[in-house]
Amino acid sequence: MRMTRSIITAAAVALLAAGETQAQNRLNVVASTEDLASIAREVGGDRVNVTALARGYQDPHFVEPKPSFILTVNRADLYVAVGRELEIGWLPPLITSSRNARVQPGAAGYLDASLNVRILEIPTGQITRAMGDVHPLGNPHYWLEPGNGRLIAQAIRNKLGELSPANRSYFGQRYDDFNARLAAAEKRWDAAMAPHTGAKVVTYHRSWPNFMERFRLEVIGYVEPKPGIPPSPSHTLELIEEMKRQGVKFIVVEPYFSLRTPQAIASQIAGGRVLVLAPSVGGAKEVTDYIQLFDYNVNLLAGALKPVTGK
């Protein structure tokens, strides 16, 4: 009897020790979105466990702070946030109730991925909500530019190295590899988009400034009359007129918006077409990592623009 008890105790201790060493080897990384998670996976490789909270086909402004997310954040060694107030409606309560000192803002395990990337549309002067739901710290959809993806990967590499110094060179190698693949892919994307430089499109929400600037497309209007405000009939009519005037055929829509208004607009324009692009990894079934995100969007756009620009 005594023997059995000691065996059980010994087994429990051994299991605990095993659990400990495993936890030491693999860092738990939790990211707000699947884009950041994908980049963290590229850099962290098999030395990290990565979880994303928001799904790629979900509007990242409106994620519900579900208690199951509290559990996820509770176990995190590193939290990677999009920042620029994108998550202001849901992340603060999750972090506060996570009971995890490692990932509180200001702690070593909290990384705001937006801090060293290129942010567009930072308002100058004071803004008011008469402009709609504008982001006072700039447009938070910055990951839709490969250059920024590289900077995010650098920030994650540095942070992971800080949290796990023994694996620093491993993360460095992983980053170099990702960087090389990204650079090669960029050449491919630039080649595909080069013939369509200056082509004009309309987008639903202001999710695409970084993407459009990178691939030299011009956004001439939005389906939303103002950020976060649903389409209104008068604005829709104005937009149709403007599209006709400038000969714009394409409306780029995020998968989480209703297609009704965009389709109604497209039907009023000869050759008008709605393109549902992926704003995030996971935004379409095929898009399972950061490089595929651009593969998918570039293919779709270049394919659609071909008959229009004739190149």
Partner 1 sequence: MRRVYVLWPVLAAGLLVGAVRPSAAQTVDVEGLRREIEQLRKELETVQQQYGERLAALEARLGAAQGAPAAAPAPQAPQTAEVPPGAPGGGAPAGQLPAYGVATAGSKIFNPDIGIIGNFLGSSGRDRGGSGTVAPTPFMTLQESEASFQAIVDPYARADFFLAIGEEGIEVEEGFATFPALPGGLLVKAGKMRANFGRLNAFHNHTLPWIDRPLVMYNLLGGSVEDPDTGIKDAGVSVSRLIPAGSVFLEATGELYRGDSGTLFKSSRRRDVAALGRVRGYVDLTDQTNVEAGASYTRGHNDLGSDFVTELYGADLTLRWRPLGRAIYRSLAARTELVWSRREEVSAFERAFGLYGSLDYQFARRWFAGGRYDQAERGANASIRDRGFSTVVTYWPSEFSQLRSQYRRTRYGDGDRVANELLFQLLFTIGTHGAHPF
Binding positions for partner 1, 270-309, rule CB under 8 A: none
Which 77-96 positions form the footprint of partner 1 (CB under 8 A)?
88-93, 95-96
180 binding partner 1? (CB under 8 A) = no
Name residues whose C-beta falls within 8 Å of residue 183's C-beta, 6 or more positions apart in sequence: none
Question: By C-alpha distance, which of 307, 288, 296 is closest to 50?
Answer: 288
**Beta carbon nearer to partner 1, 222 or 250:** 222
Tell me the residue type at 69: F
CA distance to 119, 134, 274, per residue, from 129 (Å): 20, 7, 29
Pick the closer one to partner 1 by CB: 69 or 189: 69
- Among residues 53 and 192, whose Cβ is nearest to partner 1? 53
Helix (H, G, I), strand (E, B), or coil: what is residue 119? coil
When binding is defined by CB under 8 A, the residue of 46, 176, 177, 241 that contacts partner 1 is 176
Among positions 222-251, residues that touch partner 1 (CB under 8 A) are: 222, 225-230, 232, 234-235, 238-239
Q: How far is the CB of 73 from partner 1 (least distance, A)?
A: 11
- Shortest separation between residue 140's beta carbon and partner 1, angstroms: 14
Residues in contact with partner 1, shown as a per-residue x/- string from 182 to 211 under the rule CB under 8 A: ------------------------x-----
Cα–Cα distance for residue pair 104/233, rounded to 1 Å: 44
CA distances from 257 to 8, 144, 203 (A): 56, 18, 11
Instruction: Select from 58-66, 187-195, 262-270, 295-303 the region that touches partner 1 (CB under 8 A).
Output: 58-66
The pairs formed by 224-231 with CB atoms below 8 angstroms and a separation of 24 or more are 224/132, 225/132, 226/131, 226/132, 226/133, 227/131, 227/132, 227/133, 227/134, 227/135, 228/61, 228/132, 228/133, 229/132, 229/133, 231/261
| Angle between helical axes of 168-193 and 34-44 (0-180°, round to 10) | 130
x/- map, 25-44, partner 1, by CB under 8 A: x-------------------
Residue type, 177: D
Query: Least distance to partner 1 from the beta carbon of 187, Å?
Result: 19
Give the tokens for residue 79: 């939290």
Smallest gap from residue 278 Cβ to partner 1 (A): 12
**Least separation in angstroms between CB 117 and partner 1:** 14
HSE, side-chain direction, 13 A CA sphere, residue 283: 24
CB of 196 to partner 1, least distance (A): 21
Residue number, 22 or 310, with CB nearest to partner 1: 22
- What is the nearest approach in angstroms of partner 1 to the Cβ of residue 153? 13
Site membership for partner 1, residue 9 (CB under 8 A): yes
Distance CA 124, CA 138 (A): 10
